[in-house]
Amino acid sequence: MEKFTKISGVAAPLPLVNIDTDMIIPKQFLKTIKRSGLGVNLFDEMRYDRQGNEIADFVLNKPAYRQAQILVAGDNFGCGSSREHAPWALADFGIKSVISTSFADIFYNNCFKNGILPIVLPQEAVDVLMKDAEKGSNARIEVDLEAQTVTSSDGQSFKFDVDAFKKHCLLNGLDDIGLTMEKAKSIDNFEAKAAMERPWV
Protein backbone atom coordinates (compact mmCIF):
# COMPACT_ATOMS: atom_id res chain seq x y z
CA MET A 1 0.00 0.00 0.00
CA GLU A 2 1.26 3.47 -0.88
CA LYS A 3 2.35 5.68 2.01
CA PHE A 4 0.15 8.68 2.80
CA THR A 5 1.89 11.71 4.24
CA LYS A 6 0.67 14.91 2.59
CA ILE A 7 -1.30 15.68 -0.54
CA SER A 8 -2.14 18.95 -2.24
CA GLY A 9 -4.76 18.49 -4.90
CA VAL A 10 -8.03 19.40 -6.50
CA ALA A 11 -11.05 18.62 -4.34
CA ALA A 12 -14.35 17.64 -5.91
CA PRO A 13 -17.47 18.97 -4.16
CA LEU A 14 -20.26 16.41 -3.69
CA PRO A 15 -22.80 18.10 -1.39
CA LEU A 16 -25.12 15.10 -1.02
CA VAL A 17 -26.02 13.43 2.27
CA ASN A 18 -26.31 9.68 2.82
CA ILE A 19 -24.17 8.66 -0.15
CA ASP A 20 -24.29 4.89 0.24
CA THR A 21 -21.89 2.26 -1.04
CA ASP A 22 -24.29 1.25 -3.83
CA MET A 23 -24.11 4.81 -5.14
CA ILE A 24 -20.31 4.72 -4.86
CA ILE A 25 -20.05 1.41 -6.77
CA PRO A 26 -23.30 -0.24 -7.89
CA LYS A 27 -23.89 -3.94 -7.19
CA GLN A 28 -23.38 -5.12 -10.78
CA PHE A 29 -19.68 -4.28 -10.53
CA LEU A 30 -19.03 -6.44 -7.46
CA LYS A 31 -18.16 -9.59 -9.42
CA THR A 32 -14.45 -8.84 -9.41
CA ILE A 33 -12.04 -9.43 -6.52
CA LYS A 34 -9.42 -7.16 -8.09
CA ARG A 35 -8.81 -3.75 -6.57
CA SER A 36 -8.05 -2.22 -9.95
CA GLY A 37 -10.39 -1.30 -12.77
CA LEU A 38 -13.31 -0.06 -10.66
CA GLY A 39 -12.53 3.65 -10.93
CA VAL A 40 -14.29 3.95 -14.27
CA ASN A 41 -17.53 2.81 -12.57
CA LEU A 42 -17.22 5.04 -9.51
CA PHE A 43 -20.62 6.75 -9.00
CA ASP A 44 -21.68 4.95 -12.19
CA GLU A 45 -25.39 5.76 -12.01
CA MET A 46 -24.67 9.45 -11.49
CA ARG A 47 -21.84 9.67 -14.03
CA TYR A 48 -23.44 7.92 -17.00
CA ASP A 49 -26.82 7.79 -18.69
CA ARG A 50 -28.48 4.50 -19.72
CA GLN A 51 -26.59 4.47 -23.00
CA GLY A 52 -23.26 4.73 -21.18
CA ASN A 53 -22.63 8.35 -22.11
CA GLU A 54 -21.17 10.74 -19.56
CA ILE A 55 -23.59 13.07 -17.82
CA ALA A 56 -21.86 16.40 -18.38
CA ASP A 57 -22.97 18.15 -15.21
CA PHE A 58 -21.84 15.41 -12.80
CA VAL A 59 -18.87 16.78 -10.88
CA LEU A 60 -16.32 14.09 -11.77
CA ASN A 61 -17.13 14.46 -15.48
CA LYS A 62 -16.26 18.15 -15.44
CA PRO A 63 -12.75 18.91 -16.76
CA ALA A 64 -11.74 20.67 -13.53
CA TYR A 65 -12.38 17.57 -11.42
CA ARG A 66 -11.28 14.64 -13.60
CA GLN A 67 -8.01 14.45 -11.67
CA ALA A 68 -9.50 15.14 -8.23
CA GLN A 69 -7.63 13.53 -5.33
CA ILE A 70 -9.93 14.78 -2.57
CA LEU A 71 -13.70 14.48 -2.21
CA VAL A 72 -15.67 16.89 -0.01
CA ALA A 73 -19.01 15.23 0.69
CA GLY A 74 -22.19 15.52 2.72
CA ASP A 75 -23.02 13.82 6.00
CA ASN A 76 -23.07 10.03 6.53
CA PHE A 77 -20.80 9.15 3.61
CA GLY A 78 -20.38 5.44 2.86
CA CYS A 79 -23.54 4.20 4.54
CA GLY A 80 -25.35 1.08 3.31
CA SER A 81 -23.77 -2.30 2.68
CA SER A 82 -20.23 -3.05 3.82
CA ARG A 83 -18.72 -3.66 0.37
CA GLU A 84 -14.98 -3.11 0.27
CA HIS A 85 -15.33 -2.40 -3.44
CA ALA A 86 -16.42 1.14 -2.48
CA PRO A 87 -12.99 2.29 -1.27
CA TRP A 88 -11.39 0.23 -4.07
CA ALA A 89 -13.34 2.27 -6.64
CA LEU A 90 -12.46 5.57 -4.99
CA ALA A 91 -8.78 4.66 -4.81
CA ASP A 92 -8.70 3.40 -8.40
CA PHE A 93 -10.19 6.68 -9.60
CA GLY A 94 -7.46 8.54 -7.70
CA ILE A 95 -9.28 9.73 -4.59
CA LYS A 96 -6.86 9.73 -1.65
CA SER A 97 -8.98 11.50 0.96
CA VAL A 98 -12.69 12.01 1.65
CA ILE A 99 -13.86 14.84 3.92
CA SER A 100 -17.27 14.76 5.56
CA THR A 101 -19.04 15.44 8.84
CA SER A 102 -19.52 11.69 9.41
CA PHE A 103 -18.93 8.28 7.86
CA ALA A 104 -20.48 4.84 8.22
CA ASP A 105 -18.19 2.84 10.55
CA ILE A 106 -17.39 -0.07 8.22
CA PHE A 107 -16.69 2.17 5.26
CA TYR A 108 -14.54 4.44 7.46
CA ASN A 109 -12.37 1.52 8.57
CA ASN A 110 -12.19 0.05 5.06
CA CYS A 111 -10.77 3.35 3.80
CA PHE A 112 -7.72 3.08 6.04
CA LYS A 113 -7.13 -0.51 4.92
CA ASN A 114 -7.03 0.70 1.31
CA GLY A 115 -4.85 3.79 1.63
CA ILE A 116 -7.61 6.41 1.77
CA LEU A 117 -7.77 8.98 4.56
CA PRO A 118 -11.35 9.70 5.69
CA ILE A 119 -11.49 13.00 7.58
CA VAL A 120 -14.29 14.02 9.94
CA LEU A 121 -14.72 17.77 10.42
CA PRO A 122 -17.49 19.98 11.86
CA GLN A 123 -20.17 21.18 9.46
CA GLU A 124 -18.79 24.74 9.45
CA ALA A 125 -15.38 23.50 8.29
CA VAL A 126 -16.88 21.20 5.64
CA ASP A 127 -18.95 24.14 4.37
CA VAL A 128 -15.80 26.24 3.94
CA LEU A 129 -14.00 23.42 2.12
CA MET A 130 -17.05 22.65 -0.03
CA LYS A 131 -17.19 26.26 -1.17
CA ASP A 132 -13.44 26.21 -1.80
CA ALA A 133 -13.75 23.01 -3.84
CA GLU A 134 -16.40 24.65 -6.01
CA LYS A 135 -13.72 27.02 -7.34
CA GLY A 136 -12.45 24.18 -9.55
CA SER A 137 -8.92 23.29 -10.54
CA ASN A 138 -7.54 26.68 -9.48
CA ALA A 139 -8.19 25.81 -5.84
CA ARG A 140 -5.95 23.17 -4.28
CA ILE A 141 -6.68 21.82 -0.82
CA GLU A 142 -3.83 20.44 1.28
CA VAL A 143 -4.25 17.41 3.54
CA ASP A 144 -1.38 16.83 5.96
CA LEU A 145 -1.73 13.55 7.84
CA GLU A 146 1.31 14.04 10.05
CA ALA A 147 0.12 17.48 11.22
CA GLN A 148 -3.54 16.34 11.08
CA THR A 149 -4.63 19.45 9.21
CA VAL A 150 -6.68 20.33 6.15
CA THR A 151 -5.86 23.69 4.58
CA SER A 152 -8.03 25.48 2.04
CA SER A 153 -6.64 27.23 -1.03
CA ASP A 154 -6.80 30.57 0.77
CA GLY A 155 -4.94 29.31 3.84
CA GLN A 156 -7.72 28.46 6.29
CA SER A 157 -6.58 25.48 8.34
CA PHE A 158 -8.69 22.90 10.15
CA LYS A 159 -7.42 20.31 12.61
CA PHE A 160 -8.81 16.77 12.50
CA ASP A 161 -8.58 13.76 14.80
CA VAL A 162 -7.36 10.35 13.70
CA ASP A 163 -6.67 7.14 15.61
CA ALA A 164 -2.93 6.85 16.32
CA PHE A 165 -2.67 3.28 15.03
CA LYS A 166 -4.56 4.04 11.81
CA LYS A 167 -2.35 7.10 11.31
CA HIS A 168 0.77 4.96 11.77
CA CYS A 169 -0.49 2.46 9.19
CA LEU A 170 -1.23 5.13 6.56
CA LEU A 171 2.03 7.01 7.12
CA ASN A 172 3.96 3.78 6.65
CA GLY A 173 1.81 2.28 3.90
CA LEU A 174 0.76 -0.71 5.99
CA ASP A 175 -2.40 -2.65 5.19
CA ASP A 176 -3.29 -5.88 7.02
CA ILE A 177 -0.80 -7.88 4.94
CA GLY A 178 1.91 -5.28 5.48
CA LEU A 179 1.33 -5.39 9.24
CA THR A 180 1.66 -9.18 9.18
CA MET A 181 4.84 -9.02 7.10
CA GLU A 182 6.42 -6.76 9.72
CA LYS A 183 6.36 -9.86 11.93
CA ALA A 184 7.80 -12.14 9.22
CA LYS A 185 10.97 -12.96 11.17
CA SER A 186 9.03 -13.88 14.32
CA ILE A 187 6.63 -15.99 12.25
CA ASP A 188 9.52 -17.81 10.55
CA ASN A 189 11.18 -18.48 13.92
CA PHE A 190 7.91 -19.81 15.37
CA GLU A 191 7.33 -22.11 12.40
CA ALA A 192 10.91 -23.43 12.50
CA LYS A 193 10.64 -24.15 16.22
CA ALA A 194 7.22 -25.76 15.79
CA ALA A 195 8.55 -27.98 12.98
CA MET A 196 11.35 -29.22 15.23
CA GLU A 197 9.14 -29.79 18.27
CA ARG A 198 6.19 -31.28 16.37
CA PRO A 199 7.51 -32.72 13.09
CA TRP A 200 4.32 -34.78 12.68
CA VAL A 201 2.15 -31.67 12.26
pLDDT for res 11: 97
Indicate whether 150 belongs to any domain: yes
Indicate whether 59 belongs to any domain: yes
pTM of the model: 0.88
Cα torsion 30, 92, 87, 76: sign:
negative
When divided into structural domains, the chain yields a total of 1
DSSP 8-state class, residue 142 = E
175 band by pLDDT with thresholds 50, 70 and 90:
confident
Indicate whether 109 belongs to any domain: yes
82 band by pLDDT with thresholds 50, 70 and 90:
confident
The rounded distance, in Å, linking the Cα atoms of 5 and 7 is 7
Q: Which domain holds residue 81?
A: 6-174
pLDDT for res 181: 64
State mean pLDDT over 64-92: 96
Residue 46, phi-psi category: left (phi > 0), alpha (psi -120 to 50), beta (remainder): alpha
Mean pLDDT of the chain: 92
Q: Are the CB atoms for 129 and 119 separated by under 8 Å? A: no
Indicate whether 195 belongs to any domain: no
pLDDT surpassing 90 at residue 31: no
Q: Specify the CATH number for the domain of residue 17.
A: 3.20.19.10
Indicate whether 166 belongs to any domain: yes
Q: Are the CB atoms for 30 and 85 separated by under 8 Å? A: yes
pLDDT 10s digits, 126-139: 999 999 999 998 88
Indicate whether 113 belongs to any domain: yes
Indicate whether 191 belongs to any domain: no
Nearest-CA neighbor of 42 among 20, 14, 23?
23
Q: Are the CB atoms for 126 and 152 separated by under 8 Å? A: no
